[in-house]
Amino acid sequence: MTITIGSRESALAIIQSQIVMSAIQAAHPDLTLELVTMKTTGDKILDRTLDKIGGKGLFVKELSAALREGRVDLTVHSCKDFPMEEDPELPLVAFSRREDPRDVLVLPAGQTEIDFSKPIGCSSLRRCLQFQVLFPQAQMAPVRGNVPTRLRKLDEGQFSALILAGAGLKRLGLEDRICRVFSPEEILPAAGQGILAVQSRSDFDLSLLSCVDDADSRDCALSERAFVHTLDGGCSSPVAAYATVTGETITIDGIYVDNENQLYRGTISGSRREGPALAAELARQLKEGAQCVVK
């Protein structure tokens, strides 16, 4: 039996797909696994920010088409980049154990301090708004491209620093470029950050993916995505959500951003079985201004 996995062709996307493939192969050594890579619309358009061209859904369009047409059996995504609206025929069917979800600061090679005379490279409004709470003097500028391309632009002097997901750097073996790790209290991660999401057709044999699916990651990811969905946000939205599980209790931390870019932040806890409902309630509270404002 052969299972075909579809992936974007970037180095990080391939590594992430290989993580999933390795877990499947270890649990099912009789299977033959094949990797198929493709360039997505989001990879092709690099001269505009994602919110101007249709959001991060452009990174999954071609992969979803390949699934629907039967050219691949599974696709692997960074959960934080997967659209909040799912096609019932192409559901997310597994969530990997979470890598470190925190955002990090990357400086030019050899530098130890931020040069605030140059812009900070960051294409995420979520990161920009929270970073400017920490450093009001910072000027932000969009940066597109894969991680190596962004690092090249940084080292060429186009930016004084980058804000990136630490998980991606670690998976690429570039952990040595991290100069500072931001705690969730400083910069709350994006929903699903650090988790790999596996997508398939609704008739796929899910028993093959029990070796990939992590119960804690699933409960956290579904809760975080419910928070964003309740606020009508997408994966390019500035809202943030981060859940943690301890035993049977889930705690969800969320940030809502109003039309004036004011941040409202709050926390809710309860039974992990009610995670999505708790997240939706927290989202409603924040939208109504019932919890604290981030100055």
**Angle (CA) 65 68 74, round 5°:** 90
Q: Is residue 187 part of a domain?
A: no
Gap between the Cα atoms of 43 and 40, Å rounded: 5
One domain, residues 235 and 268 = yes
Domain containing residue 124: 103-181
pLDDT under 50 in the chain at which residues?
45-46, 48-50, 52-55
Please give the model's pTM, rounded to 2 decimal places. Answer: 0.91
247: left (phi over 0), alpha (psi -120 to 50) or beta: left
Is residue 162 in a domain? yes
pLDDT in tens, 185-194: 999 999 999 9
Report pLDDT for 60: 83
Residue 48 falls inside a structural domain: yes
- Tell me: do 114 and 34 sit in the same domain: no
Would residue 189 count as lying in a domain?
A: no
Active site residues: 80-81, 126-127, 144, 150, 235
Task: Determine the pLDDT at residue 54.
Answer: 47
Number of domains in the chain: 3
Residues 175 and 206 in one domain: no
CATH number at residue 80: 3.40.190.10
- In angstroms, the CA 262 to CA 20 distance is 38
Inside any domain, residue 186? no
Are residues 110 and 66 both part of a single domain?
no
Q: What is the pLDDT of residues 213-244, one digit of tens each?
A: 999 999 999 999 999 999 987 656 789 999 99
**Same-domain pairing of 292 and 222:** yes
Q: Does 271 map to a domain?
A: yes
